[in-house]
Amino acid sequence: MAHKVFIDGEAGTTGLQIRDRLAPRADIELVQLDPARRKDPLARHDALAEADIAILCLPDAAAREAVELAEGLPVRFIDASTAHRVAPGWVFGFPELTAEARDTIANAARVSNPGCYSTGAIALAAPLVAAGLVAPDEIASINAVSGYTGGGKELIAEMESPGAPAHFTYALAQGHKHLPEIIRHAGLSRRPVFAPSVGQFAQGMTVQIPLHLNGRRIADLHDALAAHYAGARFVRVVEPAARVVPTALNDTNELHLSVHGSDENGCAVLVAVLDNLGKGASGAAVQNLNLMIGAAEDAGL
């Protein structure tokens, strides 16, 4: 029997991409609302009651509201928003993070997708911190550039208007919503300085973590990441390229990690490339859904 899935926020940037991935599947039946009632709490409650799994592709407040609307219902959740990434009772939906993560996600009632920047930063830092190769207080800064779909419908409209900038840096006041989840799930003990930016391209992102080597070798960092992700279907540790292109993995659920730098000069940059709407959002949600319903991890991806 098909699994009933309700995408709350189906008309948004993340929701549409999840719908496109799920609509052709015979093992999934989408529970859909009349578009005119898509924000009506009663209609959303009825959809939550009908669904086996709800994927929340909403602003944080609306995601919290959906969970309240479902009180007492057996529906399981995947939340793409920031609302529950460090919340008690929620499983962090990053299947490649630990050896146990896939089983934990498969059996969870409430799974929170990691954020897009966080996916890159945590993927780079967590295995190195866990292996003792990077100290929990060592990561001083994280820099990133994202395609403008990362800001949802509002930023898309702004960046596709005449006079839109080619690039801007933002959130420099250090209150970015991804920092709590990066600190928690990468195992950091000190808040890194985070400097994200947006470029005049729709999808794709690069996340960079600069490090001083302090006696470590580039190969030590590369090998530790490669060992951690050995056998992962969607995460690959690749050789450093002369140019890193944020759009290189668009329309995939892949995440590529690389270690750049020079033993001689004592400096390194850890680099992650992903599609903010792939492994950074919609692809990740479908991967988690697959685990939760016992489908092949890469079904529809």
Ligand X SMILES: CC(=O)N[C@@H](CCC(=O)OP(=O)(O)O)C(=O)O
Output the smallest distance, CB 118 to ligand X, in A.
7
Q: Is 155 in the site for ligand X (CB under 6 A)?
A: yes
Q: Is 115 in the site for ligand X (CB under 6 A)?
A: yes
Which member of 4, 30, 32, 38 binds ligand NDP (CB under 6 A)?
Answer: 38
Q: Is 116 or 125 the residue whose CB approaches ligand X more closely?
A: 116
The neighbour count for residue 234, using CB atoms within 10 Å, is 22
Q: Is 206 in the site for ligand X (CB under 6 A)?
A: no
Strands 235-237 and 255-262 come out as: parallel
Name the DSSP letter for residue 113: P
Q: Is 146 in the site for ligand X (CB under 6 A)?
A: yes
Dist CA 146 CA 275 (whole Å): 9
Considering only 67-75, 148-156, 161-169, 289-297, which stretch makes contact with ligand NDP by CB under 6 A?
148-156
Q: Is 156 in the site for ligand X (CB under 6 A)?
A: no
198 binds, among ligand X, ligand NDP, none (CB under 5 to 8 A by kind): ligand X
User: Exposure of 219 by Cβ count < 10 A (0-12 exposed, 13-18 middle, 19+ buried)?
Assistant: exposed
Which member of 6, 7, 14, 94 binds ligand NDP (CB under 6 A)?
Answer: 14
Q: Is 151 in the site for ligand X (CB under 6 A)?
A: yes
Output the smallest distance, CB 193 to ligand X, in A.
15
Dist CA 42 CA 25 (whole Å): 28
Which member of 261, 280, 283, 300 binds ligand NDP (CB under 6 A)?
Answer: 280
Name every residue whose Cβ is closer than 8 Å to that of residue 75 and which is 6 or more positions away in sequence. 6, 48, 49, 51, 52, 53, 54
CA 155 to chain centre: 18
Dihedral in degrees, nearest 10, Cα atoms 245, 117, 77, 63: -120
Q: Which of 273, 253, 286, 204 is nearest to 28 (CA)?
A: 286
Residue 123 is encoded by which pair of tokens?
Answer: 């993927």
Dist CA 132 CA 280 (whole Å): 26
Positions in the binding site for ligand X (CB under 6 A): 81-82, 115-116, 146, 150-151, 155, 177-178, 196, 198
Positions in the binding site for ligand NDP (CB under 6 A): 8-9, 11-15, 38-39, 57-60, 62, 80-82, 115-116, 149-150, 152-153, 276-277, 280-281
Active site residues: 116
